Structure 1
Amino acid sequence: MSHRHPFARLALALALALAVTPVAAFAASPAGRVAEAPAAVVAGHVDLAAPDGRTIDLSVWQAADERGVVVFSHGFNGSPAAYGRILSAWVADGFTVVAPLHVDSLRHPDHDRYDSRAAFSTRLVDLAVTRRYLRATHAGKPIIAAGHSFGSLMSLIEAGAVTVAGPLGDPDVKAVIAFSSAGDLPGVIRPDTYAGLHTPTLMITGDEDLVEGYVTDWHAHRSPFDRSPAGDKMLLVFAGADHSLVRNADAADFDLIVRTTTDWLEAYGLGDPAARARLDDLTAPDGVTVESR
């Protein structure tokens, strides 16, 4: 896909997506272990114009000494603000975070105007518009895609995963951080969806990471790791962790998540060999398994 991101192609993807199986409401799992969050960074807001006439509310957590930019896509029914704990850690490491408020968010003012099927197609548009904005306002800074649950699928698509909407990858996306996943959604995920995912990808999940009616076996979250080409792929599995791990990890688990994700940002977003070496030497503590391929 060219750097101009022709929206005619996205319009076709939108039409296709409206025909797919409705997407699950990936609600947060019950609150579990919650550690004290780091000092929160206050987000600013930018209004972006979507080609379908919508206004996209973009949350922007600006790093004081920006080294790169993370495009973050929240979970279904969620919102960017719910992830302030991890996003603040990335901002402290020099990565500005930008996150559109998708129409499926319960905080979106037009939430009731859209059904769950529209969430897929409008998210594709939101993220393409966001990346176009970044190319104009943060020129030359590396872009990393990240997301949780349904948002992780969006990030994987940005990085080269091919769903029923066709190829919509962006060569400017240097790496992916995917918390949980949307599972192997019928009508959306194809057998070869991850065959072209060559972008460095970090997958983080837990062995109790389930979504009733959609992800009944946590191993479904392994698909992007297991079914993509080998090379620069890493999987962390936390014992006892549910679908809300990114928000409710205890202090020790959260520390590991921050260290691993910031090393991933630096290694593959910035090309830092020291960060790459730390990832290569990562030793899993009790209760966590680490796989690389």
Structure 2
Amino acid sequence: MSHITRRHALFGIGLLPLVGTAATAQVTASTFDVKLRSGRILQVTRWDAPKPTGYILFSHGGNSWPTQYDKLAQVLVGAGYTVLAPLHTDSLKIADAERADLKKAFGDRIEDMAHLGGYAAATANGLPLIAIGHSYGSLFALMLGGALTYVAPVRNAAVKAVVCFSSPGNIPGLINPAAYTSLEVPLLMVTGDKDVVPGFTADWHDHLLPFEGTPVKGSYALIVKEGTHQLIGGQTSAEFGLVTDVTVDFVRAVTLNKETVPMKLSANGAEKAELRHK
């Protein structure tokens, strides 16, 4: 796709790899391989909840990899969700000779998430799926929820909600006014008023485009004061706890078929963040 340039690749298209995400593991991540229709072998990292009430399909940020998000995965598993996360072809964990730039990885990521969504829908025994992504990865979570249909129609009917941590913002040639109008499920968009990426996203408000564009009622935007692009890295425990508490509340409301239940921040949380809703 010509709209993804070398400049975007250098800056991880909105993701600088997370730092400081080490956590004492409550659930050990495992991996398995699946063969895609293209013949490519996709590695998937899995965190299993003992008695899952739903499955999370997680797309990591540009140049990153699943286990950088172990701290987030542990929270989701603790809330009762099994997490599945593919290793995308732009990851720095892939050998240089085999790694794709973000232009090539765009199509690979669509294939990764579409296949993983089909796999999960077939093996989750009817449990709901939730698509979650960070930065660049949020685009592909949104597509499973029905967004960007003009790029590829990969909507997965089993996906009941989408959570985005720092969307990649406004990508010329890709994001247009219709990008998020086709979204079919409730959205939680998480960002912060310091959520910028030098050379790519200069205005943090651009991360709100999916929330502003979706017509779906019961969608929310969480804006954390002083929150950066690393909000789910957990360097500041209070911010990480606030973000994950709201995420779990949102996901539970949707998977329990309570999409209309309004979410509110605690008095303490309201001092640190703003929660907008539709």
TM over 0.5: yes
Aligned pairs, number: 271
Match of 1:28 among 6, 16, 22: 16
| Cα distance, 1:270 vs structure 2 | 2.8
Q: Identify unmatched segments of 5+ residues in structure 2.
A: none
SS in 1 for 2:126: coil
SS in 2 for 1:126: helix
Match of 1:211 among 180, 192, 197: 197
- Structure 2: how far apart are the matches of 1:21 and 1:135? 31
Question: Percent identity at matched positions?
Answer: 35
Q: Which amino acid is the alignment partner of residue 270 of structure 2?
A: P
- Structure 1: how far apart are the matches of 2:202 and 2:38? 35
| Cα distance, 1:250 vs structure 2 | 1.7
Aligned to 2:118: 132
- Structure 1: how far apart are the matches of 2:233 and 2:26? 13
Cα pair distance change 1:115/1:140, threshold 3 Å: same
- Structure 2: how far apart are the matches of 1:91 and 1:108? 26
RMSD (CA atoms) = 2.1
SS in 2 for 1:59: strand
Aligned to 2:263: 280
- Structure 1: how far apart are the matches of 2:97 and 2:61? 14
Quick check: 1:105 aligned with 2:91? Answer: yes
Q: Identify unmatched segments of 5+ residues in structure 1.
A: 1-17
Aligned to 1:52: 38
- Structure 2: how far apart are the matches of 1:21 and 1:258? 31
Quick check: 1:291 aligned with 2:276? Answer: yes
Give the conservation status (yes or no) of the 8 Å contact 2:135–2:167: yes
SS in 2 for 1:99: strand
SS in 2 for 1:91: helix
Give the conservation status (yes or no) of the 8 Å contact 1:144–1:176: yes
- Structure 2: how far apart are the matches of 1:29 and 1:54? 25
Map 1:135-174 → 2, pairs under 5 A: 135-162=121-148, 164-174=150-160
- Structure 1: how far apart are the matches of 2:241 and 2:234? 12
SS in 1 for 2:37: coil
Greater mean alpha carbon deviation, residues 38-47 or residues 143-152: 38-47
Q: Deviations over 1:246-271 (max 9, x none)?
A: 11352222222222111111111232
- Structure 1: how far apart are the matches of 2:159 and 2:21? 31
Greater mean alpha carbon deviation, residues 234-243 or residues 36-45: 36-45
- Structure 2: how far apart are the matches of 1:27 and 1:178? 13
Quick check: 1:71 aligned with 2:57? Answer: yes
TM-score (norm 2): 0.90
Q: Deviations over 1:9-56 (max 9, x none)?
A: xxxxxxxxx34333441342785xx69846442111110111111100
SS in 2 for 1:45: strand
Aligned to 1:192: 178
| Cα distance, 1:192 vs structure 2 | 0.7
Q: Which amino acid is the alignment partner of residue 201 of structure 2?
A: V
